[in-house]
Structure 1
Amino acid sequence: MSSPPAALPVRILGTGQALPTRVVSTAEVAALCDPSGGLTAEAAEARTGVRERRWLSGAETALTLGAEAARNALAAANLDLEDIDVLLNASGSQAQPIPDGGALLARELGLSGRAAYSLHGTCLSFLLAMQHASLLIASGQARHVLIVSTEGGSVGLNMNQPESALLIGDGAAAVVLGQAVRPGQGLHAARIETYPEGADHTRIVGGGTLRHPRDPAVQPAEYLFDMQGLGVLKLASRVVPAFLERLRPGLSSGLVGISRVIPHQASKVGLDLLRRYGWPADRVEVTLPTLGNVIAASLPLTLHGALSSGRAGEGDTLLLVGTGAGLTAGGIIFEV
């Protein structure tokens, strides 16, 4: 039997977060979705598992939040901005199509003359960036990589679709990665699988070359978030168990060698599905009730919560896992 591949020697040097000041209750969102009062706050919370979330307000933007989270992560890592070799923008919602969001974040931070670009995989953008950063560091192409996931999805919600409007929150998180200091520390496994039969289940169709501003047939609603949750859940239920086995045999029936699970906070139903895999609830990190689904920032926000609280720490093996639009399933196994 062949030995498992060695870990990419990388460590988490620091994490940080930044949240909008405005706290929005589920009752407030329910009233926006159904002004008649037919959708009660109690029913909405029971359906989604979200009590409150943060939404952008005032002068806040996703870029200002991302820069704040980045500075917090740098402070936690005891590094200066000049120590960063590569800045990766790992966000599902973008400030604008061009230039790349990496350049916009770099400008917000005051970082010039360094590589700054995006890895975009909707809700799984952070996983892509973490794998990419690990490869850069392990190959000696970078010493320190700063990953920023920042989301302002509330501006594009369709209140005629309570299923998604009740879920989405805004926020940002950042992670600084550097070289490992002990054997076994780092990225042990990473896997991404895409099932394009689910491409129309989660989408924003306006704003690209297919539904462009000069097309008179384009309707304003096409620039809003559109999700068919039942279709997502059906497809995910079918493909995720086998995906987990390919990531690491035994994961579809238990936590094989995993200290703590850091899941994407897709929805209450999505988190409840994790019980089917035999994962104990006390080893699964949950931020959905107070933050909602913060798109690509959900994973690093949840990771930051686990590390900053001490529920996960040095020597622990973490499973970061979730699904995103596409439909894409992704997971990383990382030893802190």
Structure 2
Amino acid sequence: MVYSRILGTGSYLPANVVTNAMLAERVETSDEWIVSRTGIHARHIAADDQKTSDLALYAAREAIADAGLAPEDIDLIIVATTTPDMVFPSTACLLQEKLGVHGCPAFDVQAVCAGFMYALVTANNYIKAGMAKKALVVGAEIISRILDWDDRRTCVLFGDGAGAVVLGASDEPGIEHACMAADGRYNKILNTPAQISGGKIQGLPFLNMDGPAVFKFAVKALSEIATTTLAQAGVAQEQVDWLVPHQANLRIIESTAKHLGLPMSRVVVTLPTHGNTSAASIPLALDHAVRDGRIRRGQRVLLEGIGGGFAWGAVLLTF
């Protein structure tokens, strides 16, 4: 039987760092207010001349090199993003050109903060079906460009960045089990409803969020899907070495860890310095924990994320 394993990881954060104190100079907020409600201290913001595919390129090159491969070894590219370079072509195709790779399938996945989970499961299925051998999966976002920087409810939460993994076919299990879900009935509590029509923007072009409703739904959905994933895989909670959650809110992360009976010492948290980087947050956190030596080969890792839609999911894997 063919499985897929993570062969390499990579990430990229823009150089520009915006602290809570810097935000407090623009909107009515404070470092204490932001930290107490979210756990966020700072976030990285892309330069004006950077595009999502540029961020993705840095992370992709790192992941490919970490896997001991060359770009031409990649035979599938999937980019999870909510903030593509343009309406079309896909950011994946633009990344493909920048990598100098030609001919392999390349496409985007849009599930907002759950995008990387959807992309990872899709790539896993391509490999298991024999349709790919080396897949590049990237989560990349420039969320800062759809934020209203005068709205303290949302502008304090998000940052920009990219994370990537290379999946490869293997005889040994890597990705063990996954559960994915979505419920469009909740589309109005987290969205950016604008569209382009007749050369003009119609509708609100900024991220819109009902914070309390999102928090309530996320805590319940993530706890349930994590438990279901472990149960269906036949894996006990104590057999999980690391939880790598979507980095949205520290209280949500803590609640999920408590539900799983995991101490925070076994939870990867990059939220304080990254903010919520949407589809990039899970691969960014994974790469940081791999590179600082926390996550090691042979350890069991549970990934989970939730985003607008609502869409959510969890993936259990052996690294």
Of 240, 245, 250, which aligns to 1:258?
Answer: 240
> Is 2:207 the counterpart of 1:225?
yes
Change (3 A) 1:256 1:189: farther
Distance 2:47 2:190 in 1: 25
| Structure 2 letter corresponding to 1:228 | D
Does 1:334 pair with 2:313?
Answer: no
Deviation of 1:213 after TM superposition, in Å, equals 5.0
1:298 match: 281
Structure 2 residue runs without a partner (length 5+): none
The ranges of structure 1 where at least 4 consecutive aligned residues each deviate by more than 4 angstroms after the TM superposition are 213-216
Q: Deviations over 1:177-201 (max 9, x none)?
A: 11225x3x31111111222232111
* Kept after mapping to 2: 8 A contact 1:207/1:213: no
Q: What does the per-residue CA deviation read over 1:55-92, in whole Å, with 9 as the maximum and x for residues that have no partner?
A: 01143222111111111111111111111101111123
Aligned equivalent of 1:322: 305
CA contact (8 A) 2:52 2:91 kept: no
With normalisation by structure 1, the TM-score equals: 0.88
Q: Secondary structure at the match of 2:139?
A: strand
Cα distance in 1 between the residues matched to 2:274 and 2:219 = 24
2:66 aligned to which of 76, 91, 94: 76
Preserved CA contact (<8 Å) 2:244 2:267: yes
Q: Report how far residue 215 of structure 1 moved.
A: 7.0
Structure 1: gaps of 5 or more residues? 1-5
Q: Deviations over 1:286-331 (max 9, x none)?
A: 0000111111000000111121122111111110012111122210
213, 217, 241: which is aligned to 1:235? 217
Aligned-partner residue type, residue 10 of structure 1: S
- 1:128-147 deviation line (CA, Å, top 9, x unaligned): 11111112222221110011
Q: Aligned to 1:98, what secondary structure does the other structure show?
A: coil
Counterpart residue identity of residue 174, structure 2: G
* Aligned residues of 1:119 and 1:129 also touching (Cα < 8 A): yes
Q: Percent identity?
A: 31
| 2:22 corresponding residue in structure 1 | 28
Contact 1:30 1:166 in 2 (8 A): no
Aligned to 1:272: 254
Structure 1 position 45, deviation (Å)? 2.4
2:294 to 301, 308, 311: 311
Which of 283-292 and 106-115 deviates more? 106-115
Larger Rg: 1
1:109 positional shift: 2.2
Structure 1 range deviating more: 20-29 or 108-117: 108-117
Partner of residue 190, structure 1: 178
- Aligned residue in 1 for 2:149: 159
Q: Does the 8 Å contact 1:232/1:327 carry over to 2? A: no
SS where residue 59 of structure 2 aligns?
A: helix
What count of residue pairs does the alignment treat as equivalent?
316
In the other structure, the counterpart of 1:3 is: none
Residue number in structure 2 paired with 1:113: 103
* One-letter amino acid of the counterpart of residue 191, structure 1: C
Distance (Å, rounded) in 2 between the aligned partners of 1:108 and 1:47: 39
Who is 2:11 aligned against?
A: 17
Instruction: Output the aligned Cα RMSD.
Output: 2.1
CA-to-aligned-CA distance 1:247-270 (integer Å, 9 cap, x gap): 22399xx82421100000011222
- SS in structure 1 of the partner of residue 295 of structure 2: coil
Q: What do residues 17-37 of structure 1 show as CA deviations (whole Å, max 9, x unaligned)?
A: 111111111111232223xxx
Residues 113, 240 of structure 1: CA spacing in aligned structure 2 closer, same or farther, 3 A cutoff?
Answer: closer
Residues in 2 aligned to 1:320 and 1:205: alpha-carbon distance in whole angstroms: 28
TM-score, structure 2 normalization: 0.92
Measured in 1, the distance between the counterparts of 2:226 and 2:69 equals 36
Q: Kindly indicate whether the alpha-carbon contact (under 8 Å) linking 1:250 and 1:256 is maintained by their aligned counterparts in 2.
A: no
Higher mean Cα deviation, 311-320 or 159-168?
A: 159-168
